[in-house]
Structure 1
Amino acid sequence: MKSKWTFSFFFLLPVLFVLCLWNYNNRVYDWDMPGYIGSMYTSQYPNNPEKVKELTFSSIQKEAPIDQYNDVIGKNPKDVARQYFEKSTKAFSEQLPYFQIKVGYNLAITILYKIGFTAPMSVLFLSLLSYFFSGILLFFVFKIIFPNNILIVFFITLAILLLPPMTYMARVSTPDMFILQFLLIFMIGLFSRWKRWIMFSILFAITFIRPDYITFTLTYLITDFLFNFYERKKINFNVILQTSILFFLYIFIVKFYHYPGWKNLFYDSFICRRPIISEELADFGITDYLRILLRKIIYFKKVSLIAFGSLGLIFYLSKDKWTRFYSVFIFANIYIKFVFFPHSSGLRFFFGFILLLLIMLMYSISQRYNRYELDKNS
């Protein structure tokens, strides 16, 4: 069996390479790219914002197809805010904190740039590299879930890699593909019952890479605390310490990079993208927020169907308290994310959590199958 697993794994590697090549040939220079390249250049030229802007857009212009570059700078289709970012140093510089807080992601981009990649390719290659390693991690996740089914593991891994959100995230300049690797490592640790401080190190890395995942990391610690209290009637004080560390890490990053805050992000994302943030207040009330939330949730049907359907099947297939408890934790994070950032048309924003919930569904199917075998042989 070990030799079959080894063969299956090494057969997967060239398949992953071909998929990465396919995604590379379909790479996209999108309007998030200037933010991350600008963040990288700012760390090198902190006192020269004009140079940062010039290097950012000139590096993209050298590599991007003309139609994609026109989209980046808001020329075609027309986007006034993006046109300002390309022309105005002040407008561009004020946008950068939205991107700079993804510290771990920007650090990885900088490393690739330092070893010889161009600035745009550092961003794009990181997504491709993350896609490759995510494929390997998916293989190992499903190997844990289906230890006696090599073909199932291989084909489920391949099917997920070919899903449109996966291939899209591999082609664009966003941290979604990069963070997915760490979510999959988290799942391996969850299934393997890794020690709490090892799990905490993963949570720390996730928060360091994407501080907006603080809701995910903190709700996991709360879930772990509640489940263990329910099972053992003991209070684990380490959870309090770990929660405090993650919370202060988040606060430190937000303060250090002068992050404008959730209200500004929400206003720029869903109400009006301000060309120059400092010249217009993010002015909206709870009524405006709820109206936008209700409008967006109507277009959240696909995600809701997958989420509620998966959770319902998990509860039907598995009576195991641990499986149900942690499935609810993942399910809840889909909607916590939506409440703070209701981008209903952007599946990539929620795909990581959806994938984790689908993995829990696969785990519950495996539990039911294994129990059937045990009953059959008893």
Structure 2
Amino acid sequence: MKLKWGLSFLFFILGVSFLTYSCYQNRVYDWDMPGYLGSVYSWEFPNDAKKVQEKVYSDIQKEASKTEFNDILHYNHANEVFYTDYKAFGEQLPYYQIKVGYNAAVYVLYKIGFTGPHAVLLTNIFSYFIAGLLLFYLVKFLFPENYFMAPLISLFILWFPPVRSMAENPTPDTFLFVFTLLFTISVLQKRKSIVQFLILVCCVLIRPDYILFAATYLSAVFAFKYFTESKKLEYSLIIQGLLLAVMYVAIIKYYNYPGWKDLFYDSFFYRRPIISAEKADFTFKRYFDFLIFKLVNFKKISLASLILLGGTFYFSKENWIRILAALFFINIYIKFIFFPDSANLRFFIGFVILLFIVFLYAISKKYNGLQLGKIA
């Protein structure tokens, strides 16, 4: 069995190395990169906004192809203004600066000696490889007697186009994916609640909007423990929720984050060249109509998620497993309600994969007799 698992892991390493190299070769320099680079360079030059802006674009121009660089500059009118007006560029940085955890990882690679653009992209490439290792470990944990399933399932997930897209583009989603996988492992292996809390802290630092995921998870655990176990209030969970909320507010306030309404307006209606010069006003009807329009284009994610949720409920009669599956399912739509970019599956694929892992757990328990036990 050891030999078989050794060969299985060797096959996986060859596959994940090939996929990782492919992602690196197809790395994308897009219009989000100036925002993350500007966030990192603002740590390096905190009192020279003009130098930050000039260095961002000069460094990208050195590495990106001429076509990619032109796409960054002319993606919309706002991008053209950001290239010529350092004050306008600085006003949109808070959208990126609040992702402190991701920027910190980029900054570490930058200080090690990588160029700024490479530091952004390599954070994703390294995260992609690590995520692959965690997926292999998870599937091996779920199916310890089936040595061929771990590499096949793991490589299939990594090969999936939205997952590769996360790694190839300058976005914190792949880095965040590593921590959500760690979180899932900690839940399935009944790690102490403090471990799960620390992972949630990392998730919120990487993407502050994951405060909603943290809140729903802590609420689910709180309710589950109260109604099925102790009938007592778990004050530790309340304290954890409050600490996460305080951290979230501190980040938002420190970086003068414009707010969800501004983000929604700039992302889906009109990207303002100068944020302070125009209010982000839109009605609820306009928001609702846009949401319904995007929901129509959300069929693939909806269908896949419903199948996985239904399959989990079918194979598992365990209440906590069903709650966990429902939690990941609900968070797909919480994310969609606040940021309905149905064309970019990378915003939602992480939760779908976590739902898939819970589905695999339900199958593994039914046929292999794994026991989740009580929540740690």
**Structure 2 length as normaliser, TM-score?**
0.96
Could you list the runs of 5+ residues in structure 2 that have no partner in the other structure? 371-376
Partner residue in 1 for 2:286: 288
> Comparing 1-10 with 60-69, which one deviates more in the overlay?
1-10
Partner residue in 1 for 2:115: 118
Deviation at 1:371, TM superposition (A): 5.3
Contact 2:143 2:368 in 1 (8 A): no
Contact 1:144 1:191 in 2 (8 A): no
Amino acid at match of 1:131: Y
Partner residue in 2 for 1:342: 340
CA-to-aligned-CA distance 1:5-49 (integer Å, 9 cap, x gap): 344334422332222111111111111100000000011111111
Matched, 1:197 2:213: no
CA distance in 1, matches of 2:206, 2:274: 26
Specify the SS of the correspondent of 1:117.
Answer: coil
Partner residue in 2 for 1:155: 152
Deviation at 1:276, TM superposition (A): 0.7
Amino acid at match of 1:209: I
Amino acid at match of 1:333: N
Deviation at 1:93, TM superposition (A): 0.5
For residues 347-362 of structure 1, the aligned pairs below 5 Å read 347-362=345-360
306, 324, 331: which is aligned to 1:308? 306
CA-to-aligned-CA distance 1:199-231 (integer Å, 9 cap, x gap): 111111111111111101111111111111122
Partner residue in 1 for 2:48: 48
CA distance in 1, matches of 2:232, 2:329: 26
Matched, 1:95 2:92: yes
218, 222, 240: which is aligned to 2:219? 222
Amino acid at match of 2:299: K
CA distance in 1, matches of 2:10, 2:369: 31
Contact 2:20 2:125 in 1 (8 A): yes
Contact 2:98 2:208 in 1 (8 A): yes
Specify the SS of the correspondent of 2:148.
Answer: helix
Amino acid at match of 1:114: K
Specify the SS of the correspondent of 1:173.
Answer: coil
Deviation at 1:279, TM superposition (A): 0.5
CA distance in 2, matches of 1:101, 1:303: 28
Partner residue in 1 for 2:64: 64
Partner residue in 2 for 1:178: 175
CA distance in 1, matches of 2:86, 2:15: 44
290, 295, 298: which is aligned to 1:297? 295
Matched, 1:104 2:94: no
Amino acid at match of 1:260: P
CA-to-aligned-CA distance 1:74-116 (integer Å, 9 cap, x gap): 1xxx521111111111111011000000000000000000001
CA root-mean-square deviation: 1.3
CA-to-aligned-CA distance 1:146-185 (integer Å, 9 cap, x gap): 1111101110011111000111111111001110000000
Specify the SS of the correspondent of 1:150.
Answer: coil
Deviation at 1:313, TM superposition (A): 1.2
For residues 19-38 of structure 1, the aligned pairs below 5 Å read 19-38=19-38
CA distance in 1, matches of 2:17, 2:174: 16
Contact 2:11 2:151 in 1 (8 A): no
Amino acid at match of 1:167: R
Amino acid at match of 1:31: W
Deviation at 1:370, TM superposition (A): 2.6
CA distance in 2, matches of 1:123, 1:371: 43
Partner residue in 1 for 2:321: 323
Deviation at 1:69, TM superposition (A): 0.7
Structure 1 residues 225 and 3 mapped into 2: Cα distance closer, same or farther (>3 Å)? farther
Partner residue in 2 for 1:8: 8
Specify the SS of the correspondent of 2:12.
Answer: helix
CA distance in 1, matches of 2:269, 2:61: 29
Partner residue in 1 for 2:210: 213
CA distance in 1, matches of 2:336, 2:85: 32
Partner residue in 2 for 1:17: 17
CA distance in 2, matches of 1:17, 1:301: 32
Matched, 1:256 2:259: no
Amino acid at match of 1:286: F
Deviation at 1:248, TM superposition (A): 0.2
Amino acid at match of 2:351: F
Specify the SS of the correspondent of 2:191.
Answer: coil
Matched, 1:135 2:138: no
Specify the SS of the correspondent of 1:73.
Answer: helix
Specify the SS of the correspondent of 1:249.
Answer: helix
Q: How many residues are aligned here?
A: 369
CA distance in 2, matches of 1:221, 1:144: 25
Amino acid at match of 2:166: M
State the identity %.
48
Partner residue in 1 for 2:373: none
Matched, 1:188 2:170: no
Deviation at 1:299, TM superposition (A): 0.8
Deviation at 1:3, TM superposition (A): 4.4
Deviation at 1:294, TM superposition (A): 1.0
Amino acid at match of 1:227: F
Contact 1:218 1:243 in 2 (8 A): yes
Partner residue in 1 for 2:236: 238
CA-to-aligned-CA distance 1:311-336 (integer Å, 9 cap, x gap): 11111121111110111111110001
